[in-house]
Amino acid sequence: AQKVTQAQTEISVVEKEDVTLDCVYETRDTTYYLFWYKQPPSGELVFLIRRNSFDEQNEISGRYSWNFQKSTSSFNFTITASQVVDSAVYFCALSDGSNYQLIWGAGTKLIIKP
Amino acid sequence: GAGVSQSPSNKVTEKGKDVELRCDPISGHTALYWYRQSLGQGLEFLIYFQGNSAPDKSGLPSDRFSAERTGGSVSTLTIQRTQQEDSAVYLCASSRGLAGFYEQYFGPGTRLTVT
């Protein structure tokens, strides 16, 4: 069975600190896709990244970076020099690529204090 | 606008009444999804449309819930005889194809309150 665990329910940091959101997944598929979505207070989820299981290169996009490690079944998300606008709930999700459903994690609420 | 739109943004209804929630997906997106999100909770999958067909309705919580999509575009989620436990934010998303592969674009949601 597929499963996504985001063990951190809520994280609170002071602005400019670096913060890492953990995502651990379970799957028996050899081909799968991992996603991160952001849900700001406005409520509208926004796609951040998709990574397939064959690409283990870390990705960096501005202050955002993602560390994909198949050995530990983790796809962690780091925000460098956090800003108040980063405050949101972040969801990690998993799929086998051929399904219409994603397996969603419970989400991590990130609070950035000024 | 080019994004997914949902209406109404807020709906307060009395227990036992029927409600209709509307979703306008991004033009050209063949896949459309409905989710439910209770306060402070994750996403609960309700139903998925590919074109006008709904291959899987198993996520609908009860037979009081139904959905349709017409013209491969607009979708309506209908809740009959609303109950207080139906109170939640209902999110719609569209994508170019299967959500397991393509990114989803979400609407702002409809906040439903059943009194």
What DSSP line would sit under B6-18, residue for residue?
Answer: EE-SEEEE-TT--
> CA A50 to CA A30: how far, in whole Å?
16
Nearest alpha carbon to residue B75 among B15, B13, B31, B12: B31
Residue in chain B nearest A50 by alpha carbon: B103
pLDDT tens, A34-50? 999 999 998 899 999 99
Question: Are B21 and B110 spatial neighbours (Cβ–Cβ below 8 Å)?
Answer: yes
Q: Of A43, A95, A106, which is closest to B100 when you measure between CB atoms?
A: A95
**Cα A97 to the center of its chain, rounded Å:** 17
pLDDT tens, B14-45? 999 999 999 999 999 999 999 999 987 889 99
Kindly list the residues from chain B whose CB atom is less than 8 angstroms away from the CB atom of residue A35: 103
pLDDT tens, A8-34? 999 999 999 999 999 999 999 888 999
Residue B81 has pLDDT above 80, yes or no: yes
Residue type, B77: L
Residue type, B72: G
State whether residue A102 sits within 8 Å of chain B by CB. yes
Q: In 10 A of CB B22, how many CB atoms?
A: 15
